[in-house]
């Protein structure tokens, strides 16, 4: 295998720093650790996150396009990482740990295969880049946090295995009613009972019925697991210090998926903090593309960060970010709402977004999937977007 190409001098292996010996707690995606007594546990937790970096020598995007995303794909890779964390929580649980060199669980292999750099993987660089064209981004163009969030929402519709509801909260507002409609689409909110639509002949993606109707009786659940992505701008050119404590609190929530953002034209996936430093996984390392083996297993060493993660002072963060949360159940979401409301009462932490029960009257009457105003929500709505296979 070719040696990895490091695109930043700051990523030279010798410059990775160990965690400081501090009494300050280390928070990683809702888990608290001690830097003094749990250093191995911290590194084990971080190395269990999926780490997506620049790759080279993959099949051309679109058949004739780029064969590497070096220099332009960092936000796309960060989007992959935050969604992969949701999939890990969905199928394996937050406490799952990766162990190098061992045969991995089937669910893990399925998750990793969804991100392999080829056109028929649900969340590959190929799919994200091509779906981004619909968001006004040409292939090879740099994305911002909002763009990648919108693209991931569209691609998730085709993932019939995970059956997650991906919601992108716009205008700094999270509307509880919208989310509950999205995560419980089989409920008739107007009538308060299950809608009994005629589903004969209405087949969804991958040959399956859409929504709850896709599930057998034994599989029917009351809540589609929620991935909540909230694009935000926390200042003009620099982050407003009033938001810093609020942002740090988000990493303490058990529902935390982390934050995608970084510095201008340099994206990172932030997974926690210690003191005034944010902890992040950096995609700016170019590695050769990986092909699954004949038995479906994926050589996965290069998909896990096995050195101490990078850190940066929170004041260096670009104000344009997207915060992510995962709620497996309705109870998780209700508990998240309670935490957000409690945090909003903290005088030392300025709220980053508003949480409301129902859609404000001044909003455009777009449907719960954030579709274009005026577009009707029908069983065919999800077919507006096509996987590029």
List residues with catalytic annotation: 74, 282, 284
CB-based contact 255:325 (threshold 8 Å): yes
Distance between CA 57 and CA 51 in Å, rounded?
Answer: 18
Neighbours of 82 (CB within 10 A): 28
Q: Express the helix, strand and coil content of the chain in percent, nearest 5 each.
A: 30, 20, 50
Classify the C-alpha dihedral 268-325-132-301 as positive or negative: positive
CB-based contact 90:162 (threshold 8 Å): yes
Distance between CA 220 and CA 359 in Å, rounded?
Answer: 28
Question: How many Å separate Cα 134 from the centre of its chain?
Answer: 20
Question: Which residue's structure tokens are 């190395």?
Answer: 47
How deeply is 93 buried, as exposed, middle or buried, from its count of CB atoms within 10 A (0-12, 13-18, 19+)? exposed
CA atoms within 13 A on the CB side of 59: 13
Neighbours of 106 (CB within 10 A): 10
Render 18-72 in DSSP notation, one character per residue: PPP--SSEEEETTEEEETTT-HHHHHHHHHTS-----EESPPPGGGTS-SB-TTT
């Amino acid at each position: 295998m070719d040696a990895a190409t490091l695109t930043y001098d700051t990523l030279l292996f010798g410059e990775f720093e160990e965690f400081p010996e501090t009494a300050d707690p280390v928070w990683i995606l809702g888990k608290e650790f001690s830097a003094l007594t749990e250093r191995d546990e911290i590194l084990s937790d971080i190395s269990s996150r999926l780490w997506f970096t620049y790759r080279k020598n993959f099949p051309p995007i679109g058949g004739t396009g780029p064969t590497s995303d070096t220099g332009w794909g960092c936000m796309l890779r960060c989007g992959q990482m935050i969604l992969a964390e949701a999939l890990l929580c969905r199928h394996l649980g937050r406490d799952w740990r990766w162990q190098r060199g061992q045969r991995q669980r089937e669910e893990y292999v399925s998750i990793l295969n969804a991100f392999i750099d080829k056109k028929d993987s649900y969340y590959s660089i190929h799919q994200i880049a091509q779906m981004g064209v619909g968001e006004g981004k040409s292939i090879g163009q740099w994305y911002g946090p909002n763009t990648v969030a919108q693209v991931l929402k569209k691609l998730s519709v085709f993932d019939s295995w995970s059956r997650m509801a991906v919601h992108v909260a716009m205008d700094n507002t999270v509307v509880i009613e919208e989310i509950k409609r999205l995560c419980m689409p089989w409920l008739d909110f107007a009538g308060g009972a299950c809608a009994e639509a005629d589903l004969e002949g209405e087949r969804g993606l991958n040959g399956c019925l859409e929504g709850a109707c896709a599930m057998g009786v034994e599989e029917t659940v009351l809540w589609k697991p929620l991935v909540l992505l909230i694009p935000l701008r926390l200042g003009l050119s620099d982050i407003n210090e009033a938001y810093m404590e609020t942002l740090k609190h988000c990493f303490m929530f058990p529902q935390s998926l982390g934050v995608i953002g970084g510095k201008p034209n340099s994206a990172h996936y932030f997974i926690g903090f210690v003191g005034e430093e944010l902890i992040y996984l950096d995609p700016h390392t170019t590695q050769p593309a990986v092909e699954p083996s004949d038995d479906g297993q994926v050589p996965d060493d290069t998909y896990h960060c096995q050195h101490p993660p990078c850190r940066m002072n929170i004041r260096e963060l670009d104000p344009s970010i997207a915060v992510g949360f995962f709620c497996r159940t309705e109870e998780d979401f209700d508990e998240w709402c309670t935490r957000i409301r409690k945090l909003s009462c903290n005088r030392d932490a300025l709220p980053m977004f508003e949480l409301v029960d129902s859609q404000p009257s001044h909003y455009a009457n777009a449907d719960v999937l954030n579709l274009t105003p005026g577009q009707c929500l029908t069983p065919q709505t999800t077919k507006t977007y096509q996987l590029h296979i």
